[in-house]
Amino acid sequence: RRSRRRKSVAIAYEPGQGDGTEPQRPRWEPRDWREQLERIREMRRGRDAPVDEMGVQTCYDSNAPPQVMRYQVLLALMLSSQTKDQVTSAAMLRLRRRGLTVDSVLQMDDETLGQLIYPVGFWRNKVKFIKQTTAILKQKYGGDIPSTVEELVQLPGVGPKMAHLAMHIAWDSVAGIAVDTHVHRISNRLRWVRKETKHPEETRVALEEWLPRALWKEINWLLVGFGQQTCLPVNPRCGQCLNQDICPAAKRL
């Protein structure tokens, strides 16, 4: 007898159907975000918000040696926490007039440092943090600042937002999105996060999941100035906002 052999028939599957893999879901992204972003760019075209004129990127001595410049950037960021740009800028100017370097700060007594940075927010704590961080920079990094977010956030008084901005400004490196209260607030109002976030770090993670990496550096500058001038924490100026018709929060505020 001849053995009857069944012909094997190749079965073609659609991706994710019977081939052992899960179908790829489209990446989530907010509705209208590209148009919202372009309108924010238009509103920020004047570059005349406090962050533009007195933000950290304006507070360091651009003629200083790179190592000194990077230290001044980090110090400005530490001072800027919960402090208006105008106050931070004035404090940095006073410090720079005294010669703002790692060595000059280490030689300065706490009282003098406090007088120079007052009235920045929580200035007493910042005197302590600045002294501790500056000593670590001297001992561990040869007077320079760390070049990674992971190392920067280990320094006393340095949080994730400061670390990412330090990478942007001091090292010209984009390791993540710098999220402060403005970016956090506006991202939730525009629903640029899939679900409401409670803290800036949650917002950073949520934004980095979908926002193209090429925009990570720009987004902080755009939204901070927008938050200072138009999308205010209290009584936002929705009537002046180009996004009024496509902002999920505009009609409720």
Looking at the fold, whether 184 and 164 belong to one and the same domain comes out as: no
Is residue 154 located within the same domain as residue 218? no
Look up the domain containing 183 and give its range: 33-46+177-252
Q: Check residue 98 and report its DSSP letter.
A: T
What is the rounded average pLDDT of the residues 111-138? Answer: 98
Same structural domain, 165 and 186: no
Whole-number pLDDT of residue 251: 67
**Helix, strand, coil distribution of the chain in percent, nearest 5:** 50, 0, 50
The CATH number of residue 212's host domain is 1.10.1670.10
- Return the H-helix or E-strand segment holding 229: helix 216-229
Looking at the structure, do residues 198 and 149 belong to the same domain, yes or no? no
Catalytic residue among 7, 161, 198, 217: 161
Radius of gyration of the chain (CA): 24
In this structure, are 247 and 206 located in the same domain?
Answer: yes
Cα–Cα distance measured from residue 184 to residue 177, given in angstroms and rounded to the nearest whole number: 11
Q: Select from 171, 194, 223 the last residue of a domain.
A: 171
Does 156 lie in the same domain as 192? no
Claim to verify: residue 164 and residue 199 sit in the same structural domain: no
Residues 39 and 74 in one domain: no
In a domain, 7, yes or no: no
Task: Tell me the pLDDT tens digit for each residue of 11-60.
Answer: 444 444 445 555 566 789 999 999 999 999 999 999 999 999 999 999 99
Is 22 domain-assigned? Answer: no
Pair 124, 113: CB distance under 8 Å = no
- Among 180, 161, 196, smallest CA distance to 30 is for 196
- For the chain, the domain total comes to 2
* Residue 19 placed within a domain: no
Burial of 37 (0-12, 13-18, 19+ CB in 10 A): buried
> Catalytic residue at 7?
no
Q: 128, 147, 171: which is the final residue of a domain? A: 171
DSSP characters over 60-91: S-TTS-HHHHHHHHHHHHHHHTTS-HHHHHHH
Q: Nearest 10 degrees: CA dihedral of 150, 156, 160, 164?
A: -70
> Cα 140 from chain centroid?
25
pLDDT digits (tens, 9 = 90+) for 138-181: 999 999 999 999 999 999 999 999 999 999 999 999 999 999 99
Within a domain: 137: yes
Boundary (domain end) residue, out of 105, 139, 171: 171
Tell me the C-alpha distance between 99 and 104, whole Å. 7
Residue type, 145: I
- Please give the pLDDT value at position 20: 53
157 and 189 both lie in a single domain: no
Kindly report the pTM of this predicted structure. 0.87
CATH code for the domain of 72: 1.10.340.30
